[in-house]
Amino acid sequence: MNPTSVEKMFNRVKKDLRDLFDDGTTNVIREAVGLVNSSYKRYNQGKQSTWGYTIYPDRPMKFRTSQRPTQDNHVDLYCEFQWGDNELPVSQDIKIRVWGLHDALIFREGLDALKIQEALTDPERSIKGRVISRYHFDRVYREGSGKVSPEYHPKYHLQIGGKSLPAELCWHPETFDIPRIPHHPMDLFLACQLIAINFFPDHYKNIQKESEWHAQVANTQRTLLEEYYKNCLECIRNGDSLMDMLREP
């Protein structure tokens, strides 16, 4: 992987999904590209061991109000990626949040504590709505640690929930260790594709026919998924346990 490939991916997203973005998201993308180039320069100079970019939760890639399942929600995304010399990142951390906007979604009478209602109606609260669902696509990285976790940690996994931020007022209980579900490697492009398919299906039907979008899909899948699914298929053909093979020790 190199900065040119990452910037090309960002340009594809910015061009084909620009009508789905809320105000400010184009600037977030521009800043992420700047981080890629500056960190790669420091990486080549030996000043840091990896290069990549971060999109922060207080300044996420924000999508406009969804087409479905209702128009009472919007989605945003924040993430962090770091690479070394290989195609696959050494660190992958993507979080997709679904924000409820309607009163019936953000405060459930009889279920939520009054302090939730107080927080939602606080005049100093700058955030609109409440996170009703969040999805965490992660890559476990323990190289050289020699530690074995007592928890089930597939190397690449999805958590429905994960650790929420206080301002999200997320429905998921903070004390519950939500299971990690094996999942293939992800990047920002595939995450945006997932959002478009699920929340903006009419728009996605149009862009999926475009040759440049299709070429980016094909290239991303070859880079991230080909080896992953090759290993899965080999494990199945050998009669071994796929769940155990995917676990990170």
**Number of domains, the chain:** 1
Report which residue type is found at 70: T
Rg for the chain, CA atoms, rounded = 19
* Cα–Cα distance, 29 to 14 (Å, whole number): 8
Number of H helices, E strands in the chain: 9, 7
* Cα–Cα distance, 194 to 205 (Å, whole number): 13
Helix axes 211-224, 188-199, angle to 10 degrees: 130
Residue 152 pLDDT: 78
Helix axes 188-199, 3-16, angle to 10 degrees: 10
In terms of residue numbers, what domain contains 114?
3-245
pTM over 0.75: yes
- Mean pLDDT, each 10-residue run in order, the chain (249 residues): 95 96 95 97 95 96 83 90 93 94 78 82 85 91 56 87 83 75 96 96 93 96 96 97 87
* Cα–Cα distance, 36 to 41 (Å, whole number): 9
Residue 108 pLDDT: 79
